[in-house]
Amino acid sequence: MKKKGNIKYKIINFSIILFVLIICAYVIYSLFFMNKFKIDDFEKDLVINYGSEFKSSHKVCYGNKNKCDEITPTIEGEVDYNTIGKYEVKYTYHYNKKELVLDQIVEVKDISGPVINIKNESEIIACPNGKNNIEIEVTDNYDSEVTNINQRLEDNKVIIEAIDSNNNKTITEIEVTVKDEEKPKITINGSKNLTHIIGTKYSDKGATATDNCDDKVEVKTSGEVNKDKEGTYTITYSAEDSSGNKSEATRKVTVKEKTPGTRVIYLTFDDGPSKYTNELLDVLKKYNVKATFFVTCKGDDSIIQREYNEGHTVALHTCSHVYSQVYASYDAYFKDLNNVKARVKRLTGYNANIVRFPGGTSNARSISPNISMKTLASKVLNNGYYYFDWNISSGDAGETTSTDVVYSNVVNHLKSGTSVVLQHDTKGYSVKAVERIIQYGLENGYTFERLTPSSPKIRHGAGH
Ligand SMILES: [Zn+2]
């Protein structure tokens, strides 16, 4: 029994061993010798970058370990790499009568960040607050323009971060030299050498500062000008940037006493009042300049009152201003003059005694067979009047209708002593030049005065 049983076991053992051997043989065969499809690097779900050409990277061959023939597939389905989306691609491989089909989903997606290009060729300098001279060019495969670009300074590196619209981020670090040795630049408003005449309007126009690093730099002003006391004063403007660089600029202000008879401008306006006169009075008020108005019987009463109340000289130019009437006889002249004098007296209570002849003492148009200007002028003086002509003509009596020409006619002919300027407040374009004339005068050491009986007698001289 025992022997029989041993044989039985031996048979079973042998069978197991044989079975194992067969399996091993098969495994060895299939591993090394059996022919089949072999797939390398296949991705069922493949992501490719937007804009980069699509190429499948997997390979399929048929054969065994020793020899495997690469197979070119037939491909169905197209991938548009310039359009974001998912695409199905089918690869079919044939080897003899055997067939293999691979299905792939290709997703076109923007997966690359912007490209940051530094264009500087020379040293890059950064301010301690991060402001720098880096010239950056940022391009992207998907965005035509990348707007989300941030910079920050960390130690001696500027870190630039660019993010595209699909949230792909690129970070670049650039080594920089961190320093701020530049002083703020101060610009003085107005003249650096100012002449101020006592009694005229004074104001300091200040200064501004700019800096290579700081967006805003405060300017501090020191030094005082006593606008009522003669002398030379210095105003100092100082500025300090956030790195402690300091700079200074100074303005020299010469305060002078107003010297009568020296560089005095008498602005005189004939033929008014008119609709332009109030505008003119506003300008004169703004600069605290007094002028002289040779009025007629035209215009609003209230304007003559305003002229008088605001400290100007209301003077007489005749009532009618009609040459043939005014100069018809000596009596006719005084009758006309008295008419306008009465008007001024009625409106202001004041006895006007400053006179200007229509056309001036030298005007040929005033020639009349009945009178001589010379005689008329002395009669006027004998009657207690003071008459004035002018030595600067603005040209507004007919030569020009341009504000610019009026302005240059006046400022280009200013005298070093007394300037009596003839303008007409009946001409809007002429009135418009007055503010600039005043500004020019004040900035160049002139004073403005109104005509009074003691003013220098600027007269043409009566020729006949
Ligand atoms: Zn006139």
333: CA distance to ligand 1 center in Å? 14
Average pLDDT, the chain: 92
Range 433-461 burial, b when 16+ CB lie within 10 A, else e: bbbbbbeebbeebbbbbbbeeebbebbee
359: CA distance to ligand 1 center in Å? 6
Amino acid (1-letter code) at residue 7: I
- Owner of token pair 């007489």: 316
Q: At 410, list the tokens.
A: 């006046």
Strand partners, 172: 160
More confident residue, 248 or 27: 248
% of the chain beyond a pLDDT of 90 = 78
H or E stretch at 13:
helix 2-32
pLDDT digits (tens, 9 = 90+) for 76-99: 999 999 999 999 999 999 999 999
* pLDDT exceeds 90 at position 190: no
pLDDT band at residue 58 using 50, 70 and 90 as cut-offs:
very high
Q: Rounded CA gap, 258 and 255, in Å?
A: 9
* pLDDT exceeds 80 at position 30: no
400: CA distance to ligand 1 center in Å? 16
Burial class (CB in 10 A: 0-12, 13-18, 19+), 406: buried
- The residues near 86 (Cβ < 8 Å, ≥ 6 apart) are 105, 106, 107, 108
Amino acid (1-letter code) at residue 376: L
Task: For the chain, count helices (H), then strands (E).
Answer: 9, 28
* pLDDT exceeds 70 at position 275: yes
* pLDDT exceeds 70 at position 463: no
322: CA distance to ligand 1 center in Å? 9
What's the pLDDT score for residue 10?
87
Query: CATH 3.40.50.2000: does it fit domain 185-256?
Result: no
Backbone angles phi, psi at 337, to 5 degrees: -65, -45
Residues with CB under 5 A from ligand 1 (ion): 270-271, 358
% of the chain beyond a pLDDT of 70 = 97
Going from the C-alpha of 286 to that of each of 198, 274, 277, 402, 444, the distances in angstroms are 17, 20, 14, 23, 18
H or E stretch at 374:
helix 373-382
* pLDDT exceeds 70 at position 1: no
Amino acid (1-letter code) at residue 76: E
* pLDDT exceeds 80 at position 11: yes
271: CA distance to ligand 1 center in Å? 5
Q: At 133, list the tokens.
A: 């001279």
356: CA distance to ligand 1 center in Å? 8
What's the pLDDT score for residue 259?
64
447: CA distance to ligand 1 center in Å? 25
Q: What is the pTM of this model?
A: 0.50
424: CA distance to ligand 1 center in Å? 8
Q: Rounded CA gap, 329 and 333, in Å?
A: 6
59: helix, strand or coil? strand
What's the pLDDT score for residue 426?
97
From 45-59, 195-209, 210-224, 238-252, the region with the lowest mean pLDDT: 195-209
| Mean pLDDT for the stretch of residues 281-306 | 97
Q: Rounded CA gap, 8 and 417, in Å?
A: 151
Q: How many CB atoms lie within 10 A of CB 100?
A: 17
Q: Rounded CA gap, 104 and 41, in Å?
A: 12
What's the pLDDT score for residue 366?
57
Q: Rounded CA gap, 106 and 441, in Å?
A: 82
264-448, superfamily in CATH? Glycoside hydrolase/deacetylase (3.20.20.370)
3-class SS letters over 383-419: CCCEECCCCEECCCCCCCCCHHHHHHHHHCCCCCCEE
| Mean pLDDT for the stretch of residues 108-136 | 92
Quick check: 372 and 357 in contact, CB under 8 A?
Answer: no
From 60-69, 157-166, 181-190, 311-320, the region with the lowest mean pLDDT: 60-69
Amino acid (1-letter code) at residue 325: Q
- The residues near 283 (Cβ < 8 Å, ≥ 6 apart) are 431, 434, 435, 438
- Owner of token pair 């998912």: 86
454: CA distance to ligand 1 center in Å? 23
* 3-class SS shares of the chain: helix, strand, coil, % to 5: 25, 30, 45
* pLDDT exceeds 90 at position 117: yes
Please confirm whether the linkage preceding 273 is cis (ω < 30° from 0). Answer: yes
209: helix, strand or coil? strand
| Mean pLDDT for the stretch of residues 116-124 | 91
From 36-50, 185-199, 378-392, the region with the lowest mean pLDDT: 185-199
What's the pLDDT score for residue 4?
61
Q: At 223, list the tokens.
A: 């030094």
Burial class (CB in 10 A: 0-12, 13-18, 19+), 317: buried
The bridge status of strand 177-178 relative to strand 125-126 is parallel
314: CA distance to ligand 1 center in Å? 14
What's the pLDDT score for residue 5?
64
What's the pLDDT score for residue 365?
64
285: CA distance to ligand 1 center in Å? 24
What's the pLDDT score for residue 256?
84
Handedness of CA 211, 213, 217, 222 (dihedral sign): negative
pLDDT band at residue 75 using 50, 70 and 90 as cut-offs:
very high
392: CA distance to ligand 1 center in Å? 15
457: CA distance to ligand 1 center in Å? 18
Quick check: 391 and 418 in contact, CB under 8 A?
Answer: yes
Considering the four listed CATH numbers 3.30.300.280, 3.40.50.300, 2.60.40.10, 1.20.120.1690, the one that applies to the domain covering 36-109 is: 2.60.40.10
388: CA distance to ligand 1 center in Å? 12
310: CA distance to ligand 1 center in Å? 23
397: CA distance to ligand 1 center in Å? 9
| Mean pLDDT for the stretch of residues 183-199 | 89
What's the pLDDT score for residue 12?
87
Amino acid (1-letter code) at residue 460: H
* pLDDT exceeds 90 at position 403: yes
Q: Rounded CA gap, 182 and 185, in Å?
A: 9
318: CA distance to ligand 1 center in Å? 9
| Mean pLDDT for the stretch of residues 121-143 | 92
What's the pLDDT score for residue 170?
97
- The residues near 256 (Cβ < 8 Å, ≥ 6 apart) are 195, 196, 197, 198, 230, 445
pLDDT band at residue 72 using 50, 70 and 90 as cut-offs:
very high
396: CA distance to ligand 1 center in Å? 11
pLDDT digits (tens, 9 = 90+) for 296-334: 999 999 999 999 999 999 999 999 999 999 999 999 999
Q: At 51, list the tokens.
A: 């804009």
Q: At what angle do helices 301-309 and 330-348 cross, to 10 degrees?
A: 70
| Mean pLDDT for the stretch of residues 336-350 | 97
